[in-house]
């Protein structure tokens, strides 16, 4: 009769291989699903005495592909980045770019004059200058301390 010594590390190696197979099967599907999630543009809001300045990152798009709607208390931006595919190109493409529609509604910290908004789009950054309502800009509140 042959005596075989028990090796606990062998079972750990087997467990590790099984976990790796499970993870390898899961990760590619998860990454594929993550690339299909709509991307929303990053925003930066700066509030000055006279206006609210809103900047949005929308690289790779033309100004005509953006729809901007402004109310007194929010800005709504939507658009679509279209995939440009050439039929004669036989090369395989692997891309991390997002193509498709997006929409973002950004609430504003103060009411603005939505009829006097100015916009500029340069180098993939959309700049919106949103002037504050006059009543908000010059609003002064008197605080009375209760005198006894």
Its domain, for residue 59, covers: 38-83+97-131
Q: Which tokens belong to 86? A: 């050439």
148: in domain: no
**Domain containing residue 42: CATH number:** 2.60.40.790
pLDDT the model gives residue 139: 65
3: in domain: no
Per-residue pLDDT reduced to its tens digit, 84-106 = 666 656 677 777 777 788 889 99
Give 10-17 contacts, CB < 8 A, sequence gap 24+: none
Predicted TM-score (pTM) of this structure: 0.62
pLDDT the model gives residue 133: 87
How many structural domains comprise the chain?
Answer: 1
Q: Which tokens belong to 106? A: 């950004």
In whole angstroms, what is the distance from residue 130 CA to residue 115 CA? 9
pLDDT at 69 over 80: yes
68: in domain: yes
């Amino acid at each position: 009769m042959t005596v075989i010594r028990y090796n606990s590390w062998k079972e750990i190696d087997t467990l590790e291989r099984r976990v790796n197979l499970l993870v390898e099967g899961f990760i590619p599907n998860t990454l594929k699903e993550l690339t299909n999630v709509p991307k929303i543009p990053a925003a930066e809001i700066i509030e000055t005495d006279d206006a609210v300045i809103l900047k949005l990152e929308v690289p790779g798009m033309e100004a005509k592909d953006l729809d901007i709607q402004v109310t007194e208390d929010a800005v709504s931006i939507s658009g679509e980045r279209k995939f440009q595919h050439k039929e004669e190109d036989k090369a395989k493409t692997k891309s991390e770019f997002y193509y498709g529609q997006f929409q973002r509604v950004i609430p504003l910290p103060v009411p603005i004059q939505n009829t006097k908004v100015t916009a500029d789009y340069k180098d993939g950054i959309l700049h919106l200058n949103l002037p504050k309502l006059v009543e908000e800009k010059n609003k002064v509140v008197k605080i009375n301390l209760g005198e006894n």
